[in-house]
Amino acid sequence: MPTATTGFFRVPREFPSSPKKEAEAAFVDVGGNGDCGPRAIAAAFISKALAENKNSPELQALLQRHFMYYPQHKATIRLATPMDSLRFIIRHFSMGELVDKLADTIRQVAVAEMNAHPERYRGAFIDDEGMPVSPAAMRLSTTWIDETFIAAAAEAIKNPITVQVVAKERELPLSLPYQATGSQAKPLVIQLQNKHYIPRVQEPARFQHIRASYPAERRHVEENDPSMDEILQRIAEDERRILTEFESTKRRLMAAVDAGEIDKKQLLDIYISGLTQSDYFRGYVGVEHGTEDFFRSLKQKAHQGEIIRMPTGNQEKEVTTQLVHAIARAISIGQLQPAVVFDKIEQVQNRAQHLSPGF
């Protein structure tokens, strides 16, 4: 195991950041097959930590977990700060090894996050062919996990992540922000091209020649992963809850519309203002591509057919019905709070009563 030299702390513990670093930022491919997502996150995270040069809570928390899996990376110097520890690994090992092993750590903490909330990350547990994917399989570096992994990783490492989806037919990249509850950290930026993730890093030269070498086996840590039966049961129960709440909310809203208590414009105001004030990704991973597809998949699994059967011939009614469905969907997956929505409807009703003749 490498040992620290006596000159380790002769380097200033806080390094002045160069104003040129921001201009030097670039996307650099750090390799990976199946694990390109965690590798991209690891490289972007390391780059941000070095550029900011501060002992952030997210760096401290991730390194603490990392040392459980890879104790050889822990600095042998007393009272080492998180930044001391990060520079120790780079100096005594290599940037390539750090990306390899930190990517593995990020995968492990992301899987733990998905295990804790399988209903939120349901897409991770079913592959493209509809087959279950176990937590044990997800912990392997060769297992590809879609954007569900990115969302879980952002939450697990307490650092927001922005994914820029690049496609030939799209002039500008589609930007998907994945939040981390309570975090004030600057988002990491990674690019997605043809199912391959590439990180945006400061000082690209540090990362240009890194290729996946697949690290030696991590130290065994008892993870207590739930069984697939337990995971699938929790997902199924939550899907039933979502559909039940959706139908109940839809009926309440349609009753208000049919009674003339609220109209299309007021519904639109409620929907837009509610989403503006909420965290769009607070509810479920997958809705960033549209809640209608998300709900259609739930309906099809429940053998209930399509989510909306639109009437024809009355555009005003069609738009109003669409808004009712959109608000009901948003409430049932946590994008809108029901109390807020129905309080606003009550306010609309009260204003109408005050304005009515003879009041």
Instruction: Encode pLDDT of 199-213 as tens digits.
Output: 999 999 999 988 877
> Of 10-19, 34-43, 331-340, which has the strongest mean pLDDT?
34-43
Give the residue with greater pLDDT, 26 vs 122: 26
Q: Which residues pair with 164 in a beta bridge?
A: 175, 191
Percent of the chain with pLDDT over 90: 42
Q: What band does 51 get if pLDDT is binned at 50, 70 and 90? A: very high
Distance (Å, whole) CA 184 – CA 189: 15
Q: Which residues pair with 27 in a beta bridge?
A: 200
Q: What is the DSSP letter of 191?
A: E
Structure tokens at 22: 């921001």
How confident is the model over 312-327, as a mean pLDDT? 78
Structure tokens at 99: 């990306």
**What is the three-class DSSP state of 320?**
helix
Domains of the chain, earliest start first: 24-225 (3.90.70.80), 229-351 (no CATH)
